[in-house]
Amino acid sequence: MKQQASRIAGIRQRLRRISVFDGQDLKKAILIGAAWLEEHREAINALNVFPVPDGDTGSNMSATMQAAIRDIIHSTETSASVIAEKIAHGALLGARGNSGVILSQALRGLAQGLDKKQTFSATDLANALQEASRLAYRAVLKPIEGTILTVVRETAEAASKSAERGDDLVGLIQEAVIAARQAVASTPELLPTLKQAGVVDSGGQGFCTILEGVWRYVRGETGTLPPPSVSSSSGEAAVKKGRITVDEEFGYEVVFLLRGTNLDVDAIRQMIIDMGGVSTVVAGDEKMLKVHTHTLTPGKILDYGVSLGSLLDINIENLQEQSLTYAAESQAEHAGETSAVTGDSATVAVVSGAGLEKVFRGLGVNAIVAGGQTMNPSIEEVLAAVNTVSANKVIILPNNGNVILSARQVAALTNKEVYVVPSDTMPQGIAALLSFNFEADFAANCQAMTQAIEHVQTAEITTAVRSVQVGAVDVREGNYIGLINGKLTVAGQNMDHVINDTLQRMELENYEVVTLYYGENVTAAQAQERVHHIKQQYSHLEIEVVDGGQAYYPYIISAE
Amino acid sequence: MAVRIVTDSTADIPLAQAQALGITIVPLTVFFGEQAFLDGVELDNAGFYRKLQESKALPRTSQPPPAALQEAYKNLISEGADGILSIHLSSKLSGTYQSACTARDTLSESRIPIAILDSCSISVGMSQAIMHAAQEAKQGVGLEEIKVHVLDELSRTHVLAVLDTLEFLKRGGRIGSAQAMLGSMLNVKPILAIKDGGAAPLERPRTRGKAYARVAQLVSEMGEIESLCIAEASQEVGQQLAQAIREVYKGDIPFYKLGAVLGTHTGPGTAAVAVVTAQ
């Protein structure tokens, strides 16, 4: 296969003609799309504009894609519509972060577009991509251009034009990739924050990367590939042949030594992959080799091994069972901890940090989903918590801007009545929970809790994970940074100065109570000293110190 | 003669006012360590909170013994009462109601009707109805009629209290569903209501200012108000609560001091409002 440059023009070439795809084609294309995204996860994470250690787009989108392919990996289904439906369902449950939710909605649109289709043509795919674009836009309350939305839409538009011209699937997907790359490249022109940070939109890049993976399948390529257009991907490891990364806790882990004669390592590896082996490693020589793979059908792999020679040191572990057991245990643990519901409604909060968990439990939250900063929970995890609590009306506190959208998706997945209080920060969630009225009904509590988050100011102190210019603030990697209500306001090398500046900008003189939640790497004594300093400057304040135990954020400070 | 009214010290009716209305008050007991004080008799509001700060030992409270109530009934009978209405704090909060029932049931020489009422409330939550009962009794209204009126007024009386801390509730025990608030790791100014005879948690503002404003809002949502009064642990908090309530209620606001028994369970810094809504 000819090596291709990554330049946009470079991929415009004539390949074999393909007029229809069936379910297996769709499955393989999406599997490779997911694998390609996973390969470039870190590069996409690096596109984050914000220097805070937050749930990264690459990780969130890749986790969403891994969930999307969960149910199709071993499917022999040939109906495109059935495969697309499984993809959409998996993505919806596994969606993490805002970009993950939008991606899941795009995949939902794709499935709707391919509804009842055994196979699909270029025109069908173009229509399905239009549907994907429509649903992606509908996923957010206020669509913003220069994001993944723009990329999905322009991709769909290019696909439609291609189909009208009479292109086949190869031609259409090629045009789609070209359009996606151009759209990604133009995102900084649409969104000033991107331009200022000198990056393209990470969610748009993620979508484009998936398309590039699909494009690889269409080209029949499994070997060397043009590097994706991710700017910082130059140092990426070469793509491993045929490798699809899935959740490690999947199926059975099969490890054995195979002794024989004239063993063909490459052929055996390919055979095991073809038999459904995932994350397959086959290493050794013609007399002895080691096989390590993940599969749903270990018997088949072992039978194959026996047909080649003699098996030694066979070790099979049921990862799925372990994983399920773990999940069940952790769920049971959680169920035990869920507090009794008073009144008609229950509360579910997304919380990170052992101390903050205690605070939420102390305030009577009925269930907690671990996560928040750096680790955004999937829709499925939030859904599980909602279904665990005994009440039929559930109020969710996402406590993170990147979780609100996921939380909102839960409403469509449960019979329970769900309301999401749009809490951006932990203190907002706490303020909302504090205003929960034990005697009031669901509607009144939803209203009161939503109002409550407007009366609390949050400052977060953390360390910049990358150098970037945000507004008038020049941030160097490793700097301490202060955010007020999620907005980066102060940066500097000295934590004391950063905290002081941040507090000053919060105009503490107008508030009565300040609560200092200190993180996992701060001692109680350090926190007390901090309080002493604040008290010296703002003597009128009542200051409370709470061991929050949160990661990455030495201090979260709220003012009421 | 007439019907006579008996209550206990947790009604927080000032002694002078009780005397003027002919109300007999049977005190509960507050213990600081081994020292026992008769609530409102040997220990007034200011004395109690002073002691609360000075004493290392935490106070405990105890219901009046049946004998004390029996003696009160006997005195009234010998004074010629032709009926007694004995109204007490919620049986969910104290054994006083039980003591009163025992006192009546073991009173051998009783020739007059004695009715014991569980107010399902406390302090200003029952004092308004008790004082109205005393006025009716003076006017010669019969026991059954007074009882009906008291029950009606109690059913229209709503109590909201703002506490400065949850500490005293935690120590005290008998707080019913307010238990739900106790796990809080944050310092909150809880708003409690009296509901079904017990303390019920409502909301947990972080600051007193917000708590008072919220109570005022809740008061404004109660509909037409017949009367309203405040019970205060200190004048300071009573005035703060009144200031917030005056935003929504233009009528007269009488103030009462929260006694030692309730103070033991709610702590200093507590202010409560009792609202009697119109019929």
State whether B134 and B24 are in the same domain.
Answer: yes
Range of the domain at B226: 157-277
Decide: A4 and A11 in contact? Cβ < 8 Å: yes
- The pLDDT, as a whole number, for residue B125 is 96
Selecting from 3.40.50.720, 3.10.105.10, 3.30.70.141, 3.40.50.510, what CATH number does the domain A338-455 have?
3.40.50.510
Q: Do A512 and B207 touch (CB under 8 A)?
A: yes
Average pLDDT over residues A33-58: 84
Q: Is residue B231 part of a domain?
A: yes
Decide: A298 and A253 in contact? Cβ < 8 Å: no
Amino acid at A195: K
Q: Exposed/middle/buried for A119, CB within 10 Å: 0-12, 13-18, 19+?
A: middle
State whether B95 and B12 are in the same domain.
Answer: yes
Dihedral pair phi/psi, residue A22, rounded to 5° = -110, -170
State whether B85 and B139 are in the same domain.
Answer: yes
State whether B95 and B175 are in the same domain.
Answer: no
* Closest alpha carbon to A129 in A191, A89, A173: A173
* Closest alpha carbon to A187 in A135, A156, A232, A144: A144
Q: Exposed/middle/buried for B2, CB within 10 Å: 0-12, 13-18, 19+?
A: middle
Picking from B155, B181, B215, the residue at the C-terminal end of a domain is: B155
Q: Highest-confidence range of A263-277, B92-106, B215-229, by mean pLDDT?
A: B215-229
- What percent of chain A lies above the pLDDT cut of 70? 85
Decide if pLDDT at A223 tops 70: no
Q: Do A512 and B209 touch (CB under 8 A)?
A: yes
Provide the mean pLDDT of chain A. 83
Decide if pLDDT at A292 tops 90: no
Using 50, 70 and 90 to split pLDDT, how confident is the model at A306?
Answer: confident
- The pLDDT, as a whole number, for residue B179 is 58
Find the CB nearest A513 among B180, B200, B207. B207
> Rounded to whole angstroms, how far apart are CA atoms B175 and B180?
10
Q: Highest-confidence range of A182-196, A249-263, B42-56, B113-127, by mean pLDDT?
A: B113-127
Q: Is residue B213 part of a domain?
A: yes
Q: Highest-confidence range of A253-257, A281-285, A518-522, by mean pLDDT?
A: A518-522
Q: Is residue B58 part of a domain?
A: no
Number of residues that make up chain B: 279
- What percent of chain B lies above the pLDDT cut of 90? 64
> Rounded to whole angstroms, how far apart are CA atoms B74 and B25?
14
Picking from B155, B180, B215, the residue at the C-terminal end of a domain is: B155
Q: Is residue B70 part of a domain?
A: yes
Six-digit token pair at B77? 């009978």
Distance from CA of A443 to the nearest CA of B (A): 16
- The pLDDT, as a whole number, for residue B173 is 59
Dihedral pair phi/psi, residue A282, rounded to 5° = -125, 120
Reported as a single tens digit per residue, the pLDDT across B197-236 is 988 888 888 888 889 999 999 999 999 999 999 999 999 9
**Among all residues of chain B, which has the CA nearest to that of A514?**
B206
Dihedral pair phi/psi, residue A457, rounded to 5° = -105, 140
**Among all residues of chain B, which has the CA nearest to that of A448?**
B203
Q: For A8, which DSSP code? A: G
Lowest mean pLDDT, pick from A67-81, A155-169, A235-249? A235-249
CA separation, residue B96 to residues A82, B63, B113, B150, B205 (Å): 71, 5, 19, 18, 33
* Alpha helix (H) residue ranges in B79-166: 96-105, 124-138, 143-155
How much is the ipTM here?
0.72
Q: Is residue B47 part of a domain?
A: no
State whether B202 and B262 are in the same domain.
Answer: yes
Decide: A44 and A58 in contact? Cβ < 8 Å: yes
CA dihedral over A494, A496, A501, A502, signed as positive or negative = positive
Q: Which residues from chain A sit within 8 angstroms of residue B203, using beta carbons?
A: 434-438
In whole angstroms, what separates CA B145 from the centre of its chain? 23
Q: Do A438 and B187 touch (CB under 8 A)?
A: no
Amino acid at A179: A
> Rounded to whole angstroms, how far apart are CA atoms A71 and A247?
12
Lowest mean pLDDT, pick from A62-66, A312-316, B85-89, B266-270? A312-316
> Rounded to whole angstroms, how far apart are CA atoms A352 and A369?
8
Q: Highest-confidence range of A1-10, A304-313, A332-341, B130-139, by mean pLDDT?
A: B130-139
Number of residues that make up chain A: 560
State whether B145 and B167 are in the same domain.
Answer: no
Q: Do A438 and B209 touch (CB under 8 A)?
A: no
- The pLDDT, as a whole number, for residue B172 is 63
State whether B108 and B19 are in the same domain.
Answer: yes
Six-digit token pair at A355? 């101390």
* Alpha helix (H) residue ranges in chain B: 15-21, 45-54, 66-78, 96-105, 124-138, 143-155, 167-172, 208-220, 235-246, 260-266
* Closest alpha carbon to A288 in A316, A319, A257: A257
Reported as a single tens digit per residue, the pLDDT across A358-395 is 899 888 899 999 876 667 899 999 999 999 888 999 99
Decide if pLDDT at A421 tops 90: yes
Decide if pLDDT at B3 tops 90: yes
- The pLDDT, as a whole number, for residue A342 is 61
Using 50, 70 and 90 to split pLDDT, how confident is the model at B56?
Answer: confident
Decide: A117 and A124 in contact? Cβ < 8 Å: yes
State whether B108 and B242 are in the same domain.
Answer: no
Q: Is residue B53 part of a domain?
A: no
Decide: B230 and B273 in contact? Cβ < 8 Å: yes
* Closest alpha carbon to B13 in B127, B157, B96: B127
* Closest alpha carbon to A106 in A59, A56, A77, A143: A143
Decide if pLDDT at B279 tops 90: no
- The pLDDT, as a whole number, for residue A372 is 64
Find the CB nearest A437 among B195, B202, B209. B202
Distance from CA of B183 to the nearest CA of A (A): 4
The three-point CA angle A203-A209-A215 to 5° equals: 145
Reported as a single tens digit per residue, the pLDDT across B123-167 is 999 999 999 999 999 999 999 999 999 999 999 999 999 998 877
State whether B23 and B135 are in the same domain.
Answer: yes
> Rounded to whole angstroms, how far apart are CA atoms A126 and A416?
36
State whether B131 and B175 are in the same domain.
Answer: no
Q: Is residue B56 part of a domain?
A: no
Average pLDDT over residues B255-272: 91
State whether B124 and B228 are in the same domain.
Answer: no
Picking from B155, B179, B203, the residue at the C-terminal end of a domain is: B155
**Among all residues of chain B, which has the CA nearest to that of A439?**
B202
Domain ranges for chain A: 8-218, 252-321, 338-455, 458-559
Q: Which residues from chain A sit within 8 angstroms of residue B205, using beta carbons?
A: 434-435
- What percent of chain A lies above the pLDDT cut of 90? 51
- The pLDDT, as a whole number, for residue B182 is 62
CATH code for the domain in which residue B21 is found: 3.40.50.10170
- The pLDDT, as a whole number, for residue A241 is 24
> Rounded to whole angstroms, how far apart are CA atoms B21 and B131?
7
Q: Measure CA of the first residue to CA of the last residue in chain B; give whole Å.
A: 30
- The pLDDT, as a whole number, for residue A15 is 59
State whether B250 and B231 are in the same domain.
Answer: yes
Q: Which residues from chain B sit within 8 angstroms of residue A439, using beta carbons?
A: 193, 195, 200, 202
Top pLDDT among A14 and B273 is at B273
Top pLDDT among A227 and A213 is at A213
The 8 Å CB, 24+ separation contacts for A475-482 are A475/A51, A477/A51, A479/A51, A481/A51, A481/A52
Q: Which residues from chain A sit within 8 angstroms of residue B193, using beta carbons?
A: 439
Decide if pLDDT at A222 tops 90: no
User: Domain spanning A252-321: which CATH class is it, in words?
Assistant: alpha beta
Lowest mean pLDDT, pick from A37-51, A146-160, A531-545, B172-186? B172-186
pTM of the complete model: 0.70
Reported as a single tens digit per residue, the pLDDT across B101-118 is 999 998 877 789 999 999
Decide: B213 and A455 in contact? Cβ < 8 Å: no
Decide if pLDDT at A273 tops 50: yes
Decide if pLDDT at A265 tops 80: no
Q: Which numeric CATH code is attached to A8-218?
A: 1.25.40.340
Q: Is A400 left (phi over 0), alpha (psi -120 to 50) or beta?
A: beta
Q: Do B184 and A363 touch (CB under 8 A)?
A: yes
- The two counts, helices (H) then strands (E), for chain A are 20, 18
Average pLDDT over residues A100-116: 95
| Number of domains chain B is built from | 2
Decide if pLDDT at A317 tops 80: no
Decide: B263 and B184 in contact? Cβ < 8 Å: no
Provide the mean pLDDT of chain B. 90
The three-point CA angle A131-A132-A133 to 5° equals: 90
Look-up of token digits 């928040």? A372
Q: Do B185 and A358 touch (CB under 8 A)?
A: yes
Decide if pLDDT at A47 tops 90: no
